[in-house]
């Protein structure tokens, strides 16, 4: 089977080409401009495709004929399917750009399909990527697969040209055709992969700001809005490829959407929850009046002085295009009857947004959200310096690596998983930083020796060591009587692993008479948190070691800082479900504490609550024990710990008393 694909290096196109190449004996011709040849090389490398199965065809869809006569002659009568995906999707596009690419480009591709048809064999099937946008932004009611021109209003260039380009296929195509109308395409439901900010992603920075600045329990008000036809890219591609190869259903359109899509309010609430932001959101109904009334209100508001300027200014401040804000109250309900019938029995279905929203959020936060701010004082402190960070492939370590790289440091990233570490290293380099990956299992002393030797061989010295890697176990002592190994492995990583790093890098620091060692401890060392005897003991040992070492190396200009880190929302705490209901720092806030440590080089950094707890325990230890005893019984053990202790498992969700205590005393590991 032979395919010709336009837009193959675009977001959907890359997944489509990968899926087509997975079919037996498939050959994929990719139509692109010669100026984009580097993208072709990157696509082939990313997919691991050989030159005989993934073949470039040089051309331009905006040019008459698209490809030269020689290429047309070579391809004539050989292509089974043409997938036309190339289009402009920018919501800030101009009318001229939209017409040139979306409309003229489609007309040229339809003409090329005719030129490649051969009457002696089955004509190529023309597959056109349209959009739910063909219904316009103001349509009210059900819009089915079979509906097209129903008098809808099409004001925006994107909506207008998606409608007109589909009309070109319907009216001019003399080969079999199928049209696909995906909704708001988001990242891959399994990996979260996305390559641009679009649709709901415009709201992610605002969601992040809510999460970072408001307590999780704070009630918020939102609007319900209209239905948001969100759809992951993997479903779009799987459904399109399956429908494309069915011999029936030609001359039809197929909506590619989630069944029963969420409202705008429900969608934002889902993403806020995925970001671990405020979880109490009440949405107010926003569709109490008809679409006609809403249009009249918009027209009246539009006549007010400077209304357009205010609208654009608001959109610019929020970082959200006006057209996206206008779609929040979408009144169209899309019916994908043709799609459901075509996919019946295939096992292909669109997952619910709630099932993969956290995957989308994590990918965005790690790969796309690279707007890292660093103070000028940090740049002066670390620019050109070598900084080693353990546990650097996620959470606090990864965010710290971002900040160090942005400040001009050479970052040596250490973590156990080589693939994950290389992925995060590449992200840091894409930000313009200088980063190196050193895979190492920090629970093995010989692995640490080899890793530090390699770092010193590569960089000759280390200026700053951030001992961030750690392992936490939340289990009461009576639930651990048969699990002594929990204490051994926690001490091995958190204490012995950290001081082995120090031992190996200390001589080079002493020789240069300069160095800074930062140990990430825990607020539990100050609060004596119950259920964390293994974790807190290992961190307390590292704390004591650092206090003893500090006066020994002061004359060598080596500084030691201990950070008593409060609870941070990282992958380490994710398995403990009750932490979804208690306040916690974000990795960025935690990384800012490390930044402060590097700039000021204090002996220690603790939250106000941690300092208060330390003073309180020194003065009133019995009172502290009383409070912690009550807290111990307020917060449930994990299901695994309950099961091991032979008790009937109880929900991990804390009750209202525990949530109130956590809100009053934020930060401890309860």
Residue 453 CA to residue 325 CA, distance in Å, equals 54
Beta carbons of 624 and 528 less than 8 angstroms apart: yes
Active-site choice (3, 363, 495, 535)? 535
Beta carbons of 567 and 667 less than 8 angstroms apart: yes
The residue length of the chain stands at 670
**Does 159 participate in catalysis according to the annotation?**
no
The two structure tokens encoding residue 147: 């509906």
In sequence order, what are the residues at sequence separation of 6 or more whose Cβ sits closer than 8 angstroms to the Cβ of residue 477? 533
Q: Is the dihedral of CA 132, 136, 140, 141 positive or negative?
A: negative
Task: Residue 589: name the closest of 205, 211, 118, 330 by CA.
Answer: 211
Q: Which residues pair with 563 in a beta bridge?
A: 520, 605
The two structure tokens encoding residue 123: 């004509």
Residue 47 CA to residue 18 CA, distance in Å, equals 6
The three-state secondary structure class of 444 is coil
Residue 437 CA to residue 363 CA, distance in Å, equals 20
Residue 538, burial from CB neighbour count under 10 angstroms (0-12, 13-18, 19+) = buried
Alpha-carbon distance values, 522 to 414, 479, 538, 564 (Å): 20, 22, 10, 4
Residue 322 CA to residue 314 CA, distance in Å, equals 9
The two structure tokens encoding residue 83: 């997938």
Task: Residue 128: name the closest of 190, 80, 95, 177 by CA.
Answer: 177
Q: What is the dihedral of CA 584, 587, 592, 593, to 10 degrees?
A: 60
Residue 423 CA to residue 427 CA, distance in Å, equals 6
The two structure tokens encoding residue 450: 């080899």
> What does the buried/exposed string (b/e) look like for 580-617 if buried means 16 or more CB atoms within 10 Å of the residue's CB?
bbbbbbbbbebbbbbbbbbeeeeebbbbebbeebbeeb
β-bridge pairing 125-129 and 81-84 = parallel
**Catalytic site positions:** 535
């Amino acid at each position: 089977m032979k395919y010709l694909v336009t837009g193959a290096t675009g977001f959907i196109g890359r997944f489509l080409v990968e899926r087509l190449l997975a079919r037996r004996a498939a050959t994929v011709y990719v139509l692109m401009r010669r100026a984009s040849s580097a993208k072709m090389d990157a696509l082939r490398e990313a997919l691991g495709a050989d030159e005989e199965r993934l073949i470039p065809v040089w051309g331009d869809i905006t040019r008459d004929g698209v490809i030269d006569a020689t290429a047309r002659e070579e391809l004539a009568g050989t292509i089974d399917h043409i997938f036309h995906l190339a289009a402009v999707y920018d919501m800030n596009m101009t009318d001229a750009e939209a017409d040139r690419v979306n409309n003229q480009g489609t007309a040229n591709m339809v003409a090329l399909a005719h030129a490649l048809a051969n009457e002696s064999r089955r004509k190529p099937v023309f597959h056109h990527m349209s959009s739910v946008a063909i219904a316009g932004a103001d349509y009210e009611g059900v819009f089915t697969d079979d509906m097209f021109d129903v008098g809808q209003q099409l004001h925006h260039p994107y909506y207008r040209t998606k409608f007109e380009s589909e009309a070109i296929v319907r009216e001019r195509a003399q080969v079999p055709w199928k049209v696909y109308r995906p909704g708001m395409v988001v990242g891959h439901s399994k990996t979260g992969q996305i390559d641009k900010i679009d649709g709901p992603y415009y709201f992610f920075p605002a969601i992040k700001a809510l999460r970072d600045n408001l307590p999780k329990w704070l009630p918020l008000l939102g609007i319900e809005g209209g239905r948001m036809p969100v759809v992951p890219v993997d479903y779009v591609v799987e459904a399109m490829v399956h429908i494309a190869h069915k011999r029936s259903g030609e001359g039809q359109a197929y909506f590619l959407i989630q069944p029963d899509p969420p409202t705008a309010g429900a969608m934002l609430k889902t993403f806020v929850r995925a970001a671990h932001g405020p979880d109490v959101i009440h949405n107010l109904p926003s569709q109490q009046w008809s679409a006609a009334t809403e249009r009249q209100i918009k027209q009246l508001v539009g006549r007010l002085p400077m209304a357009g300027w205010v609208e654009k200014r608001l959109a610019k401040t929020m970082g959200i295009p006006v057209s996206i804000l206008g779609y929040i109250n979408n009144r169209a309900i899309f019916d994908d009857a043709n799609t459901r019938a075509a996919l019946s029995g295939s096992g292909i279905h669109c997952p619910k947004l709630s099932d993969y929203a956290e995957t989308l959020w994590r990918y965005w936060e790690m790969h796309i959200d690279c707007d890292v701010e660093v103070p000028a004082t940090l740049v002066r402190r670390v620019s050109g310096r070598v900084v080693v960070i353990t546990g650097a492939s996620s959470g606090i370590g990864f965010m710290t690596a971002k900040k160090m790289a942005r400040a001009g440091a050479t970052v040596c990233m250490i973590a156990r998983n080589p693939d994950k570490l290389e992925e995060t290293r590449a992200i840091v380099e894409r930000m313009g930083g200088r980063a190196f990956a050193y895979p190492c299992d920090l629970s093995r002393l010989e692995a640490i020796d080899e890793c530090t030797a390699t770092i010193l061989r590569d960089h000759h010295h280390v200026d700053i060591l951030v001992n961030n890697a750690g392992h936490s176990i939340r289990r009461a002592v009576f639930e651990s009587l048969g699990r002594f190994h929990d204490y051994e492995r926690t001490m091995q990583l958190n204490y012995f692993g950290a001081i082995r790093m120090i031992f190996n890098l200390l001589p080079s620091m002493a020789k240069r008479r300069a160095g800074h060692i930062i140990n990430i401890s825990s607020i539990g060392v100050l609060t004596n948190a119950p259920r964390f005897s293994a974790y807190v003991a290992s961190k307390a040992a590292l704390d004591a070691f650092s206090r003893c070492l500090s006066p020994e190396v002061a004359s060598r200009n080596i500084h030691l800082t201990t950070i008593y880190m409060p609870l941070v929302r990282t992958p380490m705490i994710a398995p403990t479900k009750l932490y979804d209901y208690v306040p916690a720092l974000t990795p960025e806030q935690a990384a800012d504490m490390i930044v402060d440590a590097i700039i000021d080089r204090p002996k220690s950094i603790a939250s106000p609550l941690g300092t208060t707890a330390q003073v309180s325990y020194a003065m009133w230890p019995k009172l502290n024990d009383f409070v912690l005893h009550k807290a111990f019984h307020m917060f449930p053990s994990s299901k695994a710990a309950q099961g091991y202790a032979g008790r009937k498992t109880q929900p991990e969700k804390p009750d209202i008393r525990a949530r109130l205590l956590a809100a009053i005393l934020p930060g401890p590991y309860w």
